[in-house]
Structure 1
């Protein structure tokens, strides 16, 4: 053992510990917090870029992509990424998305509320109301994956965010709106691309590992801030019809058939038929790129919001699970 110590510059146990730490870097204590802070500051800068370029409503439903890899500590006894670890990766995507799109709007709304309610000293916060994940394929140890996170829809109280865990390369963006330096020189850099028939590098069936959905609410004390107010302050919504009013939760009207352009009609009709059996296919279809050859008018955004509400209402039905608690029976199997 003494000879081995002389031959090896580092204690073998220390070397093994260092190797394990490097292989599981994202799972070490406080690393998630550092990744979260890094994502926060990076997307604050991206948010400022968005306001300078002013792509406006055309970016509202576009995804933000975060990349990661499954570490050994994240894997369970089946040697694939444990189901509980999907939430931490989805956290980073959601934070980046909301900061990039709504960061400035949150600041503006907070200032307005302070002026409107000078006697109210309660804080302004963004609260997570729930998360659910639907698993489709396993993620193996050390396997890379991407999380495509985007806004799905909103009502008077909640804004719903959806995230797809996707195999890298199965879906490739044609361009990056807020990172033009990553775009191909052959692609235009303005926020509206000419030519609706332009080919897009997207597979017909992208390889999706899992799909997650969450809902957020903005609060100042006990006051709920409608998501539409935040989105409008973020310059993400065009002028709306004077007689329009965003319906409350679980009360979404059908979109008008003659107001939907041809590019969106297929997706809306599919969403109208969404059931628990085909929900995963509908979620996968949401990865399809949205045509950007025409302006995102208020009606077009409203049609897309209504399409997303069909899925969000199914997710909202999980609230009924709270009533299934049987603790009042006073009987349990065991305690561990």
Structure 2
């Protein structure tokens, strides 16, 4: 019996340590995390009668770089940034657009159309960091979200900047302009000088991101010639 207990300890402790340090890679971990976040956001939205937060509200989420997040350089793997941003996009949509997300009669859905990430500093293993996100700008088709990954240190070092572009579509596939969606959700953007000034100023930069779509028109063949 004593032998069995020692064997269980030798096997169980390392297994438990691996599980704890790789929590986000366990089966269904991503789904469970998404569900818990959605549950909290839906509860909050209902408590506020689906009234949205102010348009340019910054939402923030706390994270830690666990061992299943890192690559062979011992810092957060590049692919993890976009995975983490999934939770930030959910947070923004249910905070700024609760009526669209929670009233099914609108038949409107926000879809991620692409992400641009700019790395500035590494996020070391086991380091704490937070992801801050907010509405950046929009045009007649695209809504742009602005994100930043901030290390929880003495200097609040910005490790990464990112931009997501969101498109709103009906079930029929018809695109709905972001301005219409914002108005539907209760944001007063018509004749709002501050909102338009901020939107247009940020658009001067954001519009260049759309030029990346020209990659589809590259005339050079994908061969070794």
Aligned twin of 1:236:
187
Q: Distance in 1 between matches of 2:219 and 2:27?
A: 34
Q: Would the alpha carbon gap of residues 312 and 101 (structure 1) be closer, same or farther in structure 2, given more than 3 Å must change?
A: same
Please list, as runs of the form range in 1=range in 2, the aligned pairs for 1:34-45 lying within 5 A after superposition.
34-45=32-43
Give 1:50 shift: 4.2
Q: Distance in 1 between matches of 2:151 and 2:48?
A: 27
Structure 1 unaligned residues grouped into runs of 5+: 113-122, 171-204, 242-297
**1:164 aligned onto 2:148:** yes
Q: Would the alpha carbon gap of residues 325 and 161 (structure 1) be closer, same or farther in structure 2, given more than 3 Å must change?
A: farther
**1:102 aligned onto 2:102:** no
Q: Would the alpha carbon gap of residues 87 and 325 (structure 1) be closer, same or farther in structure 2, given more than 3 Å must change?
A: farther
Q: Distance in 2 between matches of 1:69 and 1:308?
A: 30
Question: What is the root-mean-square deviation of aligned Cα atoms in Å?
Answer: 2.5
Q: What is the DSSP-based 3-state SS (H/G/I as helix, E as strand, rest coil) of the residue aligned with 2:87? A: helix
Please list, as runs of the form range in 1=range in 2, the aligned pairs for 1:68-107 lying within 5 A after superposition.
68-107=63-102
Q: Would the alpha carbon gap of residues 55 and 17 (structure 1) be closer, same or farther in structure 2, given more than 3 Å must change?
A: closer
Conserved 8 A contact 1:60-1:151: yes
Conserved 8 A contact 1:129-1:217: yes
Q: Which has the higher strand share?
A: 2
Q: What is the DSSP-based 3-state SS (H/G/I as helix, E as strand, rest coil) of the residue aligned with 1:8? A: helix
Give 1:218 shift: 1.0
Q: Would the alpha carbon gap of residues 13 and 69 (structure 1) be closer, same or farther in structure 2, given more than 3 Å must change?
A: same
Q: Deviations over 1:104-141 (max 9, x none)?
A: 13455x525xxxxxxxxxx6432111011111111111
Conserved 8 A contact 1:72-1:142: yes
TM-score by length of 1: 0.61
Q: Deviations over 1:261-320 (max 9, x none)?
A: xxxxxxxxxxxxxxxxxxxxxxxxxxxxxxxxxxxxx11111111122122112222112
Q: Would the alpha carbon gap of residues 55 and 332 (structure 1) be closer, same or farther in structure 2, given more than 3 Å must change?
A: closer
Conserved 8 A contact 1:106-1:233: no
Q: What is the DSSP-based 3-state SS (H/G/I as helix, E as strand, rest coil) of the residue aligned with 1:81? A: coil
Q: Give the paired residue count.
A: 224
Q: Distance in 2 between matches of 1:50 and 1:7?
A: 53
TM-score by length of 2: 0.88
Computing the radius of gyration from Cα coordinates, the structure with the larger value is 1
Q: Would the alpha carbon gap of residues 31 and 223 (structure 1) be closer, same or farther in structure 2, given more than 3 Å must change?
A: same
Q: What is the DSSP-based 3-state SS (H/G/I as helix, E as strand, rest coil) of the residue aligned with 1:91? A: helix
